[in-house]
Amino acid sequence: MRVVFRADASVAIGTGHVMRCLTLANALRARGMSCQFVTRNLPGHLGALIAERGFAVTLLEVPSGPTPSGPPDHAAWAGVDWQHDLAETQAAIDWADWLIVDHYAFDARWHAGLADSVKRVMVIDDLADRPHAAALLLDQNLGREAQDYSGLLAGGCRRLIGPRYALLRPEFASNREAALERRGTSRLSNLMISMGGTDVADATSAVLRALAKADLPGDLRISVVMGSRAPALERVRTLAASMPLPTRVLVDVRNMAGLMADADLAIGAGGGSTWERCCLGLPAIMVETAANQAGAVTAMEEVGAAFGTGRLADPSFGERLVEAVGQLLDVEVNGRLSRASAELCDGEGTARVAQLLEDPAWA
């Protein structure tokens, strides 16, 4: 079976779309499927990483000309208009049993244009803001309901909704039992800050500045996780060196599951790493670094699985962050968040989706 992924990464988009597709591609390859990636040459693209992971990759041309406008709302993320991208993608695909699209810039028009090149389309989405022409749709977000896609999907499209289908690497599931055993019993001594691979909003610096003024345990250790493509990396390194508590900056880590398992508290954005933290029962303070994260943060707060700080741009951000950290110094509160978050995601979502994609019932 041949599977083609169409996803982009860039400084503006971030790395999450490509990274979760790589996770699924690894699972499909382990089941004997052939996987290819089609990605655009944008600043901060991950073409080299995809190739390093052993997958064929077609790098689409660098965008030129005016920035495309919607619909859909995120059309600019493609760098070119959807018809241009469709033509290039079609030229890169000989034939595929599945085309898996993880891109906010494309809608049903783009999907339908590839009907002669692919047998079926799967869409990975988080927004429920545009129509899709797909056989299968995955939205792994808490609070999302199947009816949110009413009127947006082709007839007969199957919907995989919620964190049960979160696309996590297998090391999170394998670290889950040991991580959960130590939760809720140890005091806060290891704090992780992770705002995504590029952190284009530089939320990391805002968090460090707030924590520098906070009354924290003297033996607390802080670990900052960033990507080498993050525009603010050097600024963060300078801030970390001036922090009143030991603060290390880790770049392009390969052992995120282990780092999360060892942490007592995380401060992070409301993206895909939410489900990594939940799988390991890691209590979290979630920062809204983009408008499309507000729903995820609210949903987590409503079920008692995380604390939120509100929008990064709010004047009260620093105060709310310090207040949340103070509450989570309480072992009982910390343990309550851990248990609530662990109930949301068991880390087996990738296996569930991979099994479904190879189901002969689709034939």
Residue 123: the pLDDT is 98
In order, the DSSP letters of 77-122 are GGSS-HHHHHHHHHHH-S-EEEEEEE-TT--HHHHHTTTTTEEEEE
Q: Hunting for tokens 């950290």 — which residue is that?
A: 325
**For the domain that residue 234 is a member of, what is the CATH number?**
3.40.50.2000
Residue 319: the pLDDT is 95
* Domain shared by 234 and 135, yes or no: no
Secondary structure element (H or E) that encloses residue 224, with its range: strand 221-226
In order, the DSSP letters of 265-299 are EEEEESSTHHHHHHHTT--EEEEE-SGGGHHHHHH
Residue 74: the pLDDT is 95
Q: What is the pLDDT along the chain (363 residues), one digit of tens a residue?
A: 999 999 999 988 989 999 999 999 999 999 999 999 999 999 999 999 999 999 999 999 999 989 999 899 999 999 999 999 999 999 999 999 999 999 999 999 999 999 999 999 999 999 999 999 999 999 999 999 999 999 999 889 999 999 999 999 999 999 999 999 988 676 789 999 999 888 989 999 999 999 999 999 999 999 999 999 899 999 999 999 999 999 999 999 999 999 999 999 999 988 889 999 999 999 999 998 877 788 889 999 999 999 999 889 999 999 999 999 999 999 999 999 999 999 999 999 999 999 999 987 875
Chain centroid offset of residue 211 CA: 25
CA distance 14 to 9: 6
Helix H segments across the chain?
16-30, 47-52, 82-92, 108-112, 170-182, 203-212, 233-241, 256-262, 273-279, 294-302, 317-327, 331-342, 349-357
* Domain shared by 228 and 80, yes or no: no
CA-nearest of 103, 79, 93 to 21 is 103
CA distance 307 to 300: 8
* Domain shared by 217 and 68, yes or no: no
* Domain shared by 161 and 202, yes or no: no
Count of domains forming the chain: 2
Contacts of 359 (CB under 8 A, 6+ apart): none
Which structure tokens are listed for 8?
């982009």
Contacts of 360 (CB under 8 A, 6+ apart): none
* Domain shared by 108 and 39, yes or no: yes
Q: Do 105 and 12 touch, CB atoms closer than 8 A?
A: no
* Domain shared by 164 and 176, yes or no: no
Q: Do 251 and 227 touch, CB atoms closer than 8 A?
A: yes
Domain that holds residue 257: 172-342
Burial 223-250 (b: 16+ CB within 10 A, else e): bbbbbebbebbeebeebbeeeebebebe
Secondary structure element (H or E) that encloses residue 192, with its range: strand 190-194
Q: Do 35 and 93 touch, CB atoms closer than 8 A?
A: no
* Domain shared by 18 and 162, yes or no: yes
Q: Do 34 and 98 touch, CB atoms closer than 8 A?
A: no
* Domain shared by 160 and 194, yes or no: no
Residue 187: the pLDDT is 79
**For the domain that residue 119 is a member of, what is the CATH number?**
3.40.50.11190
* Domain shared by 185 and 156, yes or no: no
* Domain shared by 249 and 178, yes or no: yes
pTM for this structure? 0.93
* Domain shared by 72 and 180, yes or no: no
CA distance 63 to 301: 40
Contacts 24+ apart (CB under 8 A), 68-71: 68/105, 71/107, 71/130
**What backbone torsions phi and psi does residue 144 show, to the nearest 5 degrees?**
-75, 140
Residue 359: the pLDDT is 86
Using CB atoms within 10 A of its CB, is residue 72 exposed (0-12), middle (13-18) or buried (19+)? buried
* Domain shared by 155 and 186, yes or no: no
Residue 363: the pLDDT is 55
Using CB atoms within 10 A of its CB, is residue 127 exposed (0-12), middle (13-18) or buried (19+)? middle
CA distance 306 to 336: 10
Query: Between the CA of residue 157 and those of 49, 52, 98, 147, what are the distances in Å?
Result: 32, 34, 14, 12
